[in-house]
Chain A
Amino acid sequence: MTLLPLIMAVEVEGEAELVKRLQRRDPQALAALYDRYGRLVYSLILRVVRDTGVAEDLVQETFLRVWNRVQGFDAERGAVGPWLLAVARNRAIDYLRSTVGKARNSLEMEATEHPALFSDMEKDILATDKARQIKAALEKLSAHQRQVIELAYFEGLSQTEMAERMGQPLGTVKTWVRAALKNLRNELGTAVAI
């Protein structure tokens, strides 16, 4: 897994006001949102689809989708960064799977990116110090554990598909997945209230 120094001095101050401007249909607020998160969203999508042209189209769809659904977002309690990343990942994984004839369940996608679900989250979850913590936590995982997290998150593979890809029994893959998530929970205990 390639884990490069992240990221993201994402500015969260004034985010509630930014969301309110989006809800008032202020196009300049969309520009501000893009300036704040565009690079992050593009990087995530490009990591998944590995095609710059497709990535650009999907970034556009991501921001358009957020623009059109922001009325359902809680400006005061919501964390817009995680929401954007969830929408971006869904668009990218959906594209990836559609190219191999494995379309995703649209209900599942809706269920994982509904704006109301991103309330009461840490607003600075994408800040630099948190990025360092997740990087360190991922580096502590075994190679197999990192690989299954990567295959799940960045390629959208099910555990069965991972088992086929890795040539391993399904039970083994499930064990790696659970161990990886448990280790991440333990390592990030202070960062994520899991």
Chain B
Amino acid sequence: MNCDELQGHYELYVLGLAEEEESREIRQHLDRGCEVCMRELGSARELAAMVGGTAVMAAPPPALRRRILASVGVEARRLGWWAPVWGVAGITALSVAVFVALFFRGREVDLAQQLVDSREQVRNQTIELTRLTEAFAIMNGPDTTEASFGKGPQQPPKGRVFVNPAQGVLLIASNLPPAPNGKTYEMWLLPKRGMPMPAGLFQSQTDGTALYVRRGTVNVNGTNAVAVTLENAAGAPQPTVQPLIVAALPSNS
């Protein structure tokens, strides 16, 4: 097909509606560096982007911003497993500090700075608490299924997964070194039938620990195991290497 014959198919291609024959033709034109097709597809992508912009606007939760930044290594202070305790204690201590600062007037500048710092600390702790609350909700759910992995000496990553049908999957691991540059860990749900289902990308901490929450419903009865592979940083639609972690769910082990 020449470019004229492909007119009208570019938008279909971008929307995933083109027939296989036209899709293949367009890909071949692109592979040849066809400027006409590049231009036409650019216009089609502009149209698609504009349609995408018509979604009803919704506000993402504030914690999501920090989660995303944390995934590229911008970590707030590590709080550890006792974070909830420290969180409450920290908030209380900060409140007292603010009260004392207020009591001793004449230090308005210091006080203003303390307030800014306090708010930032409280905000960070609140975000961390939210993540841990999600994790605890999965761990403590009455219908949560739990599985261990890495018990053998030849499998360095050790830990547990908790799978809750309504709330999602929690993975806790140790001995999981930070992924090399350009790589990331990808979690998978291995169904009893069918292909592995991608369940999100995550990074471990520098000390080899990882706590990853994949929220959303899970068909626990239809799932054999939870697995983790090391993939290229953009992730993969299907595992490309043998898994580092395979946690077989109890009913299947």
Interface residues, chain A, with chain B CB atoms under 8 Å away? 2-4, 6-8, 27, 30-31, 34-35, 38-40, 42-44, 46-47, 51-57, 59-61, 63-65, 67-69, 79, 81-82, 85-86, 88-89, 93-94, 98, 101, 103-104, 106, 108-109, 111-112, 117-122, 125-126, 130-131, 133-135, 138, 149, 152-154, 156, 158-159, 177-178, 181-182, 184-185, 188, 191-194
Contacts and interface: CB of A to CB of B under 8 A. Distances in A.
B132 to A, nearest CB: 16
B49 A30 contact: no
Given A4-B57, A112-B14, A134-B53, 10 more contacts: A39-B57, A43-B56, A51-B216, A56-B60, A63-B68, A64-B234, A82-B46, A126-B50, A134-B51, A181-B12
A86 B197 CA distance: 21
Contact of B201 (A64, A109, A135): A64
Interface of B: 8, 11-17, 23, 27, 30, 38-61, 64-65, 67-69, 71-74, 168, 182, 184, 194-195, 197-198, 200-201, 214-217, 232-238
Contacts of B57: 4, 6-7, 39-40, 43
B51 A64 contact: no
Given A34-B65, A57-B216, A59-B60, A158 B235 contact: no
A131 B237 contact: no
B60 to A, nearest CB: 4
A38 to B, nearest CB: 6
A138 B52 CA distance: 12
A61 B200 contact: yes
Nearest to B55: A47
A86 B45 contact: yes
B55 A134 contact: no
Contacts of A85: 48-49, 52-53
A108 B168 contact: no
Contact of A67 (B42, B65, B72, B232): B72
A67 B234 CA distance: 8
8 contacts: A4-B56, A27-B72, A34-B68, A43-B58, A51-B216, A68-B184, A68-B232, A149-B51
A54 B237 contact: no
A83 B195 CA distance: 28
Nearest to A112: B14
Nearest to A182: B8
Q: Is the interface of B mostly helix, strand, loop or mixed?
A: mixed
Contacts of A119: 42
A182 B71 CA distance: 42
A194 B53 contact: no
A69 B234 contact: yes
A103 B237 contact: yes
B40 to A, nearest CB: 8
Contacts of B67: 56, 60
Contacts of B235: 61, 64-65
A82, A94, A138 interface centre (most CB from chain B within 10 Å) = A82
Contact of A68 (B44, B197, B233): B233
Contacts of A133: 50
Nearest to B238: A106
Given A61-B235, A65-B234, A30 B15 contact: no
Nearest to A1: B54
A54 B215 contact: yes
A3 B57 CA distance: 10
A192 B50 contact: yes
A135 B54 contact: yes
Given A54-B216, A108-B16, A60 B64 contact: yes
A111 B29 CA distance: 12
Contacts of B8: 178, 181-182
Nearest to B203: A64
Contacts of B64: 38, 42, 56, 59-60
Contacts of B233: 64, 67-68
Q: Which 4 A-B pairs have the closest CB atoms?
A: A53-B215, A68-B233, A82-B49, A47-B55
